[in-house]
Structure 1
Amino acid sequence: MTQMQTAAAAGDHIFDFLHEEELEDESGKQSGPRQVRGEVEFDHVRFSYPNNPDKIIIKDFSAHIRPGQKVAIVGPTGAGKTTLVNLLMRFFELNSGEIRIDGVPTSQMTRESVHDLFSMVLQDTWLFEGTVRENLVYNKTGVTDQQLEEACRSCGIYHFIETLPKGFDTVLDDSISISAGQKQLLTIARAMIQGNPMLILDEATSSVDTRTELITQRAMDQQTERRTSFVIAHRLSTIKNADLILVLKDGDVIEQGTHEQLLSQGGFYADLYNSQFERAS
């Protein structure tokens, strides 16, 4: 019965997908900036999901991110943090306003070219049935064994790979026991290997223990140097070194600044940070 219910649910998803409207033809759009600097501007962005147009998720968001900045996006559940990243990646179209990368509106760029600008590490990890090497390299060509080893050592996952029967050539299937934290470390290593100009980290260390998180944090700090990066985090202790922190609440940016600036203001961010510190102690 459980298998039948699972199959029925999967069938519903398939038919929902088949009934979706085709995306517009983008053959006339440009492929984006040739030399990517990483300047990002949100200009009075307003958004609601197509299936619920009356519920505005992002009300009037504006921000200017300079090339190479590390931007943290924080706020309570439902504030619009992940939605903001989805709009940056052009997974959805804006109701109004504009998002520009190096001065070029993303609406004038093909989706593929926008996606190629970013490496992403999501809270929900995904691996496919294939070797460890194939999962790490994914669609990138010319990756050497040394690059693979360096990325995996940085993430603290290399020792686990060494214990596998065939190392990087081990096929990840049902016979291989792999934890949620190890899966997440593999996806972080994958993003490092891809090496795209900009980086998105959406709760990228949510499934790892505190010790592993410290190792991973150092590795991610190396990757975000000189790369524009967007970090969504609930653990505010992990984003204290961000160049800019955007505090979202109910679809609005209510505060922005560095960690020290926001703490000194004694506002919503300070309350969030202090409440986490009190729970931890």
Structure 2
Amino acid sequence: ELRGVRFGYETGREVLRGIDLVLEPGTVTALVGPSGSGKSTLVQLLPRFFDPTAGSVTIGGVDLRDLGGGHLHETVSFVFQDVRLLRASVADNIALAVPHADREAVERAARLAHIHDRVLELPRGYESVIGEDAGLSGGEAQRISLARALLADTPVLVLDEATAFADPRTEQAVHRALATLRGGRTILVIAHRPETIRDADTVVMLDDGAIVERGAPAELLA
């Protein structure tokens, strides 16, 4: 739940203004709005890349500022525009949030993210080191990031669809992953494609840092 959330950068310009939003377990919320409306800033509050300058962000009634970093990482996973891969093996990159994961679990997540076959083409498969004997395209790196989020299996997933859709295979992987993940998870997606908006339970429209419309996709389209 985001309650009375406001956020401004050090420049003094307020990016978010009085956001009240409840994201229910088992639902997909699509966040839409023009460029500069505050979508990226809002979703980055959930993994606590930023803290609100006013108001609160809570999960299960607990303010994120009161959660330890380890517990937060077990609760929220994300796939964002700036994909960060370590100079480590593909397996270690996928298992970053779950270092004790076995190879079977790593490969299962890679298959769900439609990156398994590509990994097998690398010189040493899952032991190939990113930046050394594993060169990946932007879309492939995003699918590794998606596999990482799938393996983490957190109750909250935040996804910037615009970057996840770097190529058709990644687009397909994201749609299938979302279908797999629904269950009891809470999913927040920055949506740009009509397909994602149509498949969401709730659409929230931001404009100039404020929520201006919300509702079921059919209601907002009407």
Q: TM-score, normalised by structure 2?
A: 0.91
1:56 aligned residue: 14
Q: 1:145 corresponds to which letter in structure 2?
A: R
Cα distance in 1, alignment partners of residues 117 and 68 from structure 2:
40
Residue of structure 2 aligned with 1:84, choices 36, 42, 49: 42
Residue of structure 1 aligned with 2:165, choices 181, 192, 206: 206
Cα distance in 2, alignment partners of residues 122 and 191 from structure 1:
11
Structure 1 pair 47–215 and aligned structure 2 pair: CA distance change class (3 A): closer
How many residue pairs get matched?
Answer: 221
1:134 aligned residue: 92
* Secondary structure, counterpart of 1:240 in structure 2: helix
Q: Deviations over 1:18-37 (max 9, x none)?
A: xxxxxxxxxxxxxxxxxxxx
Q: TM-score, normalised by structure 1?
A: 0.73
1:162 aligned residue: 120
Cα distance in 1, alignment partners of residues 181 and 198 from structure 2:
16
Residue of structure 1 aligned with 2:102, choices 116, 133, 144: 144
1:237 aligned residue: 195
Kept in 2, the 8 Å contact 1:87–1:94? The answer is yes
Instruction: Say whether 1:222 aligns with 2:180.
Output: yes
Structure 2, unmatched stretches of 5+, are none
- Equivalent positions of 1:186-197 (< 5 A) are 186-197=144-155
Q: 1:45 corresponds to which letter in structure 2?
A: V
Q: 1:137 corresponds to which letter in structure 2?
A: A
Q: 2:166 corresponds to which letter in structure 1?
A: S
* Secondary structure, counterpart of 2:164 in structure 1: coil
Structure 1 pair 149–89 and aligned structure 2 pair: CA distance change class (3 A): closer
Structure 1, unmatched stretches of 5+, are 1-40, 265-281
Kept in 2, the 8 Å contact 1:90–1:111? The answer is no
Cα distance in 1, alignment partners of residues 49 and 187 from structure 2:
18
2:221 aligned residue: 263
* Secondary structure, counterpart of 1:88 in structure 2: coil
Residue of structure 1 aligned with 2:135, choices 170, 173, 177: 177
Kept in 2, the 8 Å contact 1:80–1:251? The answer is yes
1:235, distance to aligned residue in structure 2 (A) = 2.1
RMSD: 1.8
